[in-house]
Amino acid sequence: LAKQKEVHGGSRRTYEWPRPAVTVDIAIFTVLESDGGAELQVLLVERDLAPFAGAWALPGGFVHENEDLSAAAARELLEETGVREGYLEQVGAVGTPGRDPRGHTVTVLYAALLPPDKHVLRATGDARSAQWHALTKLPELAFDHSALLEAALSHVRRSLGRNGACFALLPDHFTLTELQTVCEVVLGRPLDRRNFRRKLEEGAFLSEVKGEMRTGRHRPAQVYQLIRKRFEAHAQREGAIPF
């Protein structure tokens, strides 16, 4: 293990000790139809090495030399899903001793949000046994990943209205009902349809996609897209959409 001299910060002392390993773990969320209703899902990979062989875990790996943390997270996202650009936010760092039985490991946790239409690309990565799991039916998770997932989830809940997080869970074109469903699923509680729409109107960061409509056997819905510039201006003024 590495030894090093302390020359950091304001310290005048000299220390030597082994370095902890630095990893990135990533909770990749999406909203999918799952037996009847839309459900929030997280991408898990099955471990085939000890410790926790056979258990499910969040995708993750070591940070490369001179690689930015967000770049490492983006790399993991790409490897697992084939998605090159996704919504990515840092949740925080965890380095509790003993969290990895192999040694002292500090992990930086990220949360990612994917639209459902990107899922086809999933096999593009290196063919690991990655699978979507509904949050309501989670298997046992390896390491402290259960706590990490919990933290990532509450982070996502808090940031739903910020940074356009909710739009990251939808394709470019979407109906207001789809948007509301996604929000309800993430927040885990129902929202009032009219109040929801009013807030969006006030923000004025959606534009109707002309002509396009989608259909069931009922009245078709208007399709919208996000005007990113307007949204950012709105977010600057108001902070967030107050779902």
- Binding region for its own copies (CB under 8 A) out of 1-9, 177-185, 191-199, 227-235: 1-9
- Residue listed under structure tokens 């399709």: 223
SS3 state at 175: strand
The one among 75, 157, 197, 230 contacting DNA by CB under 7 A: 197
CB atoms within 10 A of CB 133: 18
Choose from DNA, its own copies, none: what does 211 bind? Cβ within 5-8 Å by kind. Answer: none
Q: How far is CA 46 from each of CA 41, 43, 87, rounded to the nearest angstrom?
A: 16, 10, 24
Residue 115 CB, nearest approach to DNA (Å): 18
Q: Does 236 bind its own copies (CB under 8 A)?
A: no
Q: Does 212 bind its own copies (CB under 8 A)?
A: no
Residues 19-58 that bind its own copies (CB under 8 A): 19-23, 25, 44-49, 57-58
Residues 51-80 that bind DNA (CB under 7 A): none
DSSP state of 171: -
φ and ψ at residue 228, rounded to 5 degrees: -60, -45
Q: Does 98 bind DNA (CB under 7 A)?
A: no
**C-beta of residue 130 within 8 angstroms of C-beta of residue 82:** no
Q: Does 217 bind DNA (CB under 7 A)?
A: yes
The one among 33, 36, 102, 215 contacting its own copies by CB under 8 A: 102
**C-beta of residue 85 within 8 angstroms of C-beta of residue 115:** no
CA distance 93 to 103: 16
Q: How far is CA 128 from each of CA 10, 81, 169, rounded to the nearest angstrom?
A: 45, 10, 23
Q: Does 147 bind its own copies (CB under 8 A)?
A: no
Amino acid at 234: H
Q: Does 1 bind its own copies (CB under 8 A)?
A: yes
Q: Which chain residues interact with DNA by CB under 7 A?
A: 175-177, 192-195, 197-199, 215-222, 242
For its own copies, the binding residues (CB under 8 A) are: 1-2, 4, 6-13, 15, 17-23, 25, 44-49, 57-69, 90, 92-98, 100, 102, 104-106, 108, 126, 128-130
